[in-house]
């Protein structure tokens, strides 16, 4: 039985790699240029087709919404990590970090609102390097006052692994299909 999943639409994406002559392993004379990108809102990995004669560069933000697009002709679809080029794989953690930096409040909200998954497991424990001790410290600190930034989180919760780096690692794991629960990706 197929469940009707809502269609996830991205408005903007960060370019991971631009293949001017398409994939080298594709056969045929009519190879289309390809852009591999990370959707900013839902953190989806996308394959885009640029407009003719339009070049883009890694880390460039491109509009891919319903309105008039400058650089991108159309969205070919979602792709898995296994289809990313070596360059795109190297660029991905930096792009994730860029998304987090641009909207830090969105990711800090996770630490302010994370809930238990079951009697024995809390969402905070799904962050790499976070155990029960860190979870309890975060829960106690956020009762006093919600966290305002990653810096605030690090200052108020002692001996915490770098929370931004831990979120980047978690997102990478989700994109690689290594996680049962998706906290940040769709």
Average pLDDT over residues 157-171: 94
**Per-residue confidence (pLDDT) for residue 16, from 0 to 100:** 97
Yes or no: is domain 12-85 CATH 3.40.50.620? no
Average pLDDT over residues 61-87: 94
**Per-residue confidence (pLDDT) for residue 150, from 0 to 100:** 97
**Per-residue confidence (pLDDT) for residue 7, from 0 to 100:** 63
- Say which residue, 63 or 26, is predicted with more confidence: 63
Q: Given pLDDT bands bounded at 50, 70 and 90, which one contains residue 171?
A: very high
User: Class for domain 103-175, per CATH?
Assistant: mainly alpha
Span(s) in the chain for CATH 2.40.50.140 = 12-85
Average pLDDT over residues 118-136: 94
Span(s) in the chain for CATH 1.10.150.280 = 103-175
**3-class secondary structure, 171:** helix
Concatenating the DSSP letter of every residue in 80-131 gives: -GGGS-HHHHHHHHHHHHHHHHHTHHHHHHHHHH--BSSSS-BGGGGSTT--
Q: Given pLDDT bands bounded at 50, 70 and 90, which one contains residue 13?
A: very high
Q: Given pLDDT bands bounded at 50, 70 and 90, which one contains residue 6?
A: low
At a CB cut-off of 8 Å and minimum separation 6, what does 105 contact? Answer: none
Q: Which residue bears the tokens 């390097």?
A: 129
**Per-residue confidence (pLDDT) for residue 30, from 0 to 100:** 67
**Per-residue confidence (pLDDT) for residue 167, from 0 to 100:** 97
For residue 3, pLDDT beyond 80: no
Contact 15, 60 (CB under 8 A): yes
**Tens-place pLDDT, residues 93-112:** 999 999 999 999 999 999 99
Residue 4 tokens, joined = 């009707």
CA dist 150 and 104 (Å) reads 8
Lowest mean pLDDT among 50-54, 92-96, 121-125, 142-146: 50-54
- Please state, rounded to an integer, the average pLDDT across all residues of the chain: 91
CA dist 146 and 124 (Å) reads 15
């Amino acid at each position: 039985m197929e469940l009707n999943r809502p269609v996830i639409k991205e408005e903007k994406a960060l370019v991971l790699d631009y293949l001017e002559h398409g994939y080298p392993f594709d056969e045929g004379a009519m190879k289309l240029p390809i852009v591999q990108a990370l959707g900013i809102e839902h953190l989806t990995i996308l394959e885009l087709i640029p407009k003719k004669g339009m070049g883009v560069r890694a880390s460039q933000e491109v509009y891919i919404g319903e309105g008039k697009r400058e650089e991108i002709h159309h969205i070919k679809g979602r792709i898995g990590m296994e289809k990313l080029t070596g360059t795109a794989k190297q660029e991905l953690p930096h792009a994730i970090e860029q998304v987090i930096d641009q909207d830090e409040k969105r990711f800090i909200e996770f630490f302010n609102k994370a809930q238990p998954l079951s009697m024995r497991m809390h969402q905070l424990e799904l962050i790499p390097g976070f155990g029960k001790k860190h979870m309890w410290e975060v829960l106690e600190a956020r009762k006093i006052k919600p966290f305002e930034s990653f810096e605030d989180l690090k200052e108020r919760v002692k001996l915490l692994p770098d929370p931004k780096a831990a979120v980047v690692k978690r997102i990478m794991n989700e994109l690689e299909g290594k996680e049962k629960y998706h906290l940040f990706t769709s």
